[in-house]
Structure 1
Amino acid sequence: MKLANLSKAGGFAAATALLLTACGASNTGGGEAGSGEEAGAPEGGDSSAWGDCTPGATSADATELDPAGGDLTIGAFTGWDESYATAHLLKAVLEEDGYSVTIDSYEAGPGYTGLAEGDIDLLTDTWLPLTHADYIEQFGDDIEAQGCWYDNAVLTFAVNEDSPAQSIADLPDLADEYGNRIVGIEPGAGLTQITQEEVIPTYGLEDYEFITSSTPAMLAELDSAVESGENILVTLWRPHWAYDAWPVRDLEDPEGALGETEVIWNFSRGGFTEDDPYAAQLLNNLVLDDDQLASLQNLMMSDEHYGGEDHDAAVAEWLEDNPEYADQLRAGELG
């Protein structure tokens, strides 16, 4: 397969540095659509409670509501592929319902500022309870939670699926199988820091050479190894379309050295639920599992497909391949 164009992924991985001290997620959210606790948002000031959300817990049938129509702006975080996947997926469905949707790219700080000030209507890529907790603390009074859509955001060590290791704990005895190499990404990425400071000493992997350069370089090595039938060990994360593009699987992390999972939430500007109950409910209905998200991102980002050049066309093709998804989204049947 052709190497995918993932120049944005290094920025995504760097943002995961906060996962170094990540809290676990029990994923037991609930509630009605809307803001605050009505959208399954936690009560009180404990940021770890944001991890207690089950995707689809705030779902309901949006077809009973009237779309407000008009113009909507969705913010997507530069370098975060799942931002563009969810933003363009919602754009396709909302435009079928009579809206005109614009997607603008932002770094996280300006994105939350724009949302709080009402310049952006929606953000679909808030990682909680840790990565974006500071922004929720800063802007939480001016924005509305609109449910969570994914609960498996985590850093990983991954291998080709037919290789022998099942756990990171197996690796000290299997170094020869992987050429004594861990293939990493950008030197400044949070995942790289965690690998160096936590995973290698925790599991005694000092005999491995830890190679860092870039996410595209890591994916090139992964592609080459799979094509040649060689074993490979890489640092990776979910959600990522590599899981759809290549036969790879995650290693177990019994010591929790890579940190635990986070949940990805939707947020809207303040007052959005009152202004447009239909679109707000559509956000609460959004759910994507690993296979769905990986296949959508692969179609959007891989050079084998659209190579990051035409997100709307990629989403249109994905919806053709998944013909029930849009109707299930509107009906609140994905959770």
Structure 2
Amino acid sequence: MRKFILTLMAVSLVVLAACGSNNEEGSSAEGSDKAEEKGTITFAVTPWTSTVPPTKVAGLIIEEMGYTVEETQADVSSTFVGLSRGDLDVFMDSWMPAHQYQYEEYKDSIEKVSISYKDADSGLVIPTYVEGIEKVSDLKGREDEFGNKIYGIEEGASATKMMRDLIKEADLDLELVTSSEGGMLAQAQREMSQNNPVIFYGWRPHTMFNKFDIKVIEDDYGYFTPSDVHVLANKDLKEKAPDVYKFLQNWSIPLEDVEAMIVKIEDGQDPREVAQEWIDNNQDKVNKMLGK
């Protein structure tokens, strides 16, 4: 009898284990089916501070809509190629007209979905203590004061090409030194800490205008003008995720809000928490973008 009871208990444990396993698999499969039903939205993230807040805010909202959100780090050239191939779905930080020539190359497969914000300044930046230079043409004959250098961002960026074209057309004896955004700003800060004249590339929204006493000089050659910052998407997004596409069509965010979020992130706050805070404080704007 004892042997029979032990055998019966063993069989019962096996059955219970099997039931538990089946229930877990069923629950997992159900969750997987839901994820697969909605799918994944992939954002391109360029190495600029201005890209992060809009990407995080939009990503959190899209996650709440039931999608999986992924981010892919890429430079501008790779972003446009990825969007055109459908490897990337969305880019939240396309500056027009700076990115217009890339857009023209891939416009058969990429769409301008909306404008995040307008009138974002960009161009050559100098410290305000440098006197007598208000526009690019004023640099002619004074290049040696700046060590005959302009500090810029990474190769492949539209701004890098535009600066080279501007240097050539303005016939300036200046070498463009390219680097990462962080590398460029570190070099500019070193020069400004010694009160030296320095030229570098600047744009808003960015904390450089909060940290340093600097100004964008007028581009009297017409390369750098105030930009409208667009949301771009692969043209298949409309069919792949129509609710995401509609949300992005309604997307907008104030430039000042993006700049304020950049400051918080650079001060050490978690980007997702900063983005969630903006969502919580701007639920009316979020609801409008969602069509509620």
Range into which the TM-score falls when normalised by the shorter chain: 0.5 to 0.7
> Gaps spanning 5+ residues in structure 2: where?
1-36
Q: How does 1:41-120 map onto structure 2 within 5 Å?
A: 70-79=38-47, 81-96=49-64, 99-105=67-73, 107-108=78-79, 109-114=81-86
Q: Distance in 2 between matches of 1:321 and 1:231?
A: 38
1:158 is displaced (CA, Å) by 0.6
* 1:169 matched to 2:141: no
* 1:286 matched to 2:243: no
**Residues 200, 260 of structure 1: CA spacing in aligned structure 2 closer, same or farther, 3 A cutoff?**
farther
Q: Distance in 2 between matches of 1:191 and 1:235?
A: 8
1:14 matched residue in structure 2: none
Aligned amino acid, residue 152 of structure 2? I
* 1:160 matched to 2:160: no
* 1:305 matched to 2:268: yes
Counterpart secondary structure, 1:256: coil
* 1:296 matched to 2:261: yes
- Identify which of structures 1 and 2 has the higher relative contact order when contacts are C-alpha pairs closer than 8 Å and 6+ apart: 1
Structure with the greater alpha carbon radius of gyration: 2
Q: Identity of paired residues, percent?
A: 15
**Residues 321, 233 of structure 1: CA spacing in aligned structure 2 closer, same or farther, 3 A cutoff?**
same
Alpha-carbon RMSD across the aligned residues, in angstroms, is 3.9
Say if 1:157 and 1:251, in contact at 8 Å, map to a contact too: yes
Counterpart secondary structure, 2:186: helix
Give 1 or 2: higher helix fraction.
2
Q: Distance in 1 between matches of 2:151 and 2:246?
A: 39
Q: 2:103 aligns with which of 107, 132, 135?
A: 132
1:270 is displaced (CA, Å) by 2.7
**Residues 169, 149 of structure 1: CA spacing in aligned structure 2 closer, same or farther, 3 A cutoff?**
same
TM-score by length of 1: 0.57
Equivalent residue pairs, number: 244
* 1:224 matched to 2:181: no
Counterpart secondary structure, 1:148: strand
Q: How does 1:186-225 map onto structure 2 within 5 Å?
A: 188=155, 191-199=159-167, 201-202=169-170, 204-206=171-173, 209-210=174-175, 212-215=177-180, 216-225=182-191
**Structure 1 outlier segments of 4+, above 6 Å:** none
Counterpart secondary structure, 1:93: helix
1:156 is displaced (CA, Å) by 1.0
Q: Distance in 2 between matches of 1:90 and 1:321?
A: 11
1:182 matched residue in structure 2: 149
1:324 matched residue in structure 2: 281
